[in-house]
Amino acid sequence: GNIEHRDAVLDYDSVEPMTDEAGSPVMRWDGVTTKAHPATGQQVPDDTAQVVQWRYVNPRQAQWPAVDFIVGNPPFIGAGAMRGALGEGYVDALRGAWPKVPESADFVMYWWHRSAELVSAGQAERFGLITTNSLRQTFNRRVVQSALANGLSLLFAVPDHPWVDSANGAAVRIAMTVAGAVQGDGKLLTVTSERSSEYGEVKVELAQRQGLIHADLRIGANVAAARAMQANMGLSNRGVQLFGAGFIVTPVEAAGLGLGTVTGLEKHVRQYRNGRDLTSTPRGVLVIDMFGLGVDDVRARFPAAYQWLLERVKPERDQNNRATYRNNWWFFGEPRRVLRHQLNGLPRYIATVETAKHRVFQFLDINVMPDNKLVAIALSDALQLGVLSSAAHLAWATAVGSTLEDRPVYVKTTCFEKFPFPGDETGLTSQLAERIRSLAEQLDAHRKARQAAHSTVTITGMYNVLEKLRNGEVLTTAERTLNDNGLVSVLHSLHDELDAAVLAAYGWTDLSLPADTDALLLRLVELNAKRATEEAAGTVRWLRHEFQRGNGQVEQSAIEGNAEVDGGTDESAPAAVATIAPKPWPTGLADQIKAVADVLADAGTSLDLDGLAARFTSRGRWRERLPTILDALVALGRARTQDGGRWVDVGR
């Protein structure tokens, strides 16, 4: 049978228009049509371009015919693009019908999960699927890990292979996997070289290895099985997600809104950095951050900034499907309350670009607001900056992280929270710690000084040259200029000395990187397991002891607020409450709605998205369903919204 159509995973009786309580069709902006704003002239969503939303009646898992082997090339649609490509109603029906597939998983993983179920149950011998190479990414990998834990083995895999469709010019990266209900080794093929031919196809050379293939499509150290450690928890987060380009202003525009003349505005207009600002040339822009203020306060205290946001942010937010984004249009869609708490009181913090060719960590001043594409780590000690910048950690991050096309992705839950830092039991003496601190401070200062001295020097440029120097490649004329301006050979020596110091801190001076990367990963996995055992027995090697043992632990489980407002604390925001044991996140939609309603009813106060998410133990992008569930509870009369992006039980 044909399993490559979208209806191969979802069956239903019929499709009908969604209706509201009054029986009128539910309409939404078509996501495409725009019009000129009368005041600014900028293109904004055209609220008259509405399309009907559809409901799938009696959705259920589609049944597949009885076969011996399953082979297919299912649709490639990322989790974030599914609603736009398939429609709200279809995605809701799909996720409701397949509760065991994480909501953060790509569309293709429904086929992978279903195939694995059938093979595990003995209803098919093997399956082989072509998927995107994102199969190895954290949220897709969970599906694979679950299947392997249920008795399947990967018998053949190609983690990353070019795919060129000469008919329409599409060029993507794919993975190929074959699995069976047997225990044993598999054949792993990895691409060693690629070159295009005269007719558009790609000629590929492959290297072959035999061994136990793990869920991340690797042979060797089972980094995918590493566990998160308490010592690293509560310190890392992605930056804010604006949901409105109108929040970003230039220094000139900010001055026109009153920065420097209107009292208190300086606390709400901050420096802003995204990934390109860090890897290339900083834009020098600012961001309007009204988090912690009600809309009436913004209008009364900062009328020019209010009008700016009203005209440039609200039209876009008005068309957002999530009620919390529509109703709280004057501040960021994801303001990251937890991150703000983590950074509170620090003079600086560590940041890295989530997706980048070169994995670089650097200090950012506490006044800099990080973008959603940055991973912020709430540590100000250069000792941790040095360890994170070392070849040991970079090898770990490459192995356990994800990839986007051919660029590594730093996933905080695997790259940071599972990484075992060196400690006194591994050989980290006070002298070594000071040595690592000194080298890390020099490294951070050197890069920033060269960028300040030469506008053409960028992080990406410096590390491109550094890579060629390490490989012994001859530099071009432009690269020699960059080497001179960026003093890249100095950068080279700093990294070499830092790498050696960090390996000494682990007691692994017998290793030479990158040649001994496999051995390094095996030792890090063993150290991770040892630390996890220690933590279970009560010994935790905290990275930021006072914060994590005290206020930080409250934040991780049930932080509610203390939103900072001009002159002190927002009295409308309740203080942090005592530690509450988080609950597991349910799998079924009905159980999820009930669980969120119960949390609101038991809370005794209002909660925001971060506060709600902290009441559940599961990880991943499952929390993206929270706004939809909250909208449903509001519609059912079980909850009501408050200013500042908070929800409260109707009985409160």
Residues 6+ apart with CB under 8 A from 341: 551, 555, 559, 562
pLDDT confidence of residue 208: 95
Q: What is the pLDDT at residue 170?
A: 56
N residues, the chain: 652
- Residue 168, pLDDT score: 53
Give the residue ranges of the chain where pLDDT is below 70: 1-4, 165-171, 199-200, 550-582, 588-590, 603-605, 618-624, 635-637, 642-645, 650-652
Predicted local confidence at residue 555, as pLDDT: 36
Burial category of 305 from C-beta neighbours within 10 Å (exposed 0-12, middle 13-18, buried 19 and up): buried
User: Six-digit token pair at 519?
Assistant: 């051995």
Rounded to whole angstroms, the Cα distance separating 160 from 167 reads 22
Tokens at residue 405, please?
């096309």
Taking a C-beta distance cutoff of 8 angstroms, is the pair 59, 7 a contact? Answer: no
3-state secondary structure at position 249: strand
Predicted TM-score (pTM) of the model is 0.76
pLDDT attached to residue 562: 31
pLDDT 10s digits, 42-78: 888 888 888 888 899 999 999 999 999 999 999 888 8
Q: How high is the pLDDT of residue 650?
A: 61
Q: In the prediction, which pLDDT does 330 show?
A: 96
3-class secondary-structure state, position 184: coil
Task: Please state at what angle helix 430-453 crosses helix 488-506, rounded to 10 degrees.
Answer: 160
Query: For the chain, what is the radius of gyration of the CA atoms?
Result: 26
Structure tokens at 79: 């989790």
Please tell me the predicted confidence (pLDDT) of residue 414: 92
Judged on CB neighbours under 10 Å (0-12, 13-18, 19+), 332 is buried
Torsion of CA 34, 35, 40, 41, to 10 degrees: 110
What's the gap between Cα 214 and its chain centre? 22
pLDDT the model gives residue 67: 94
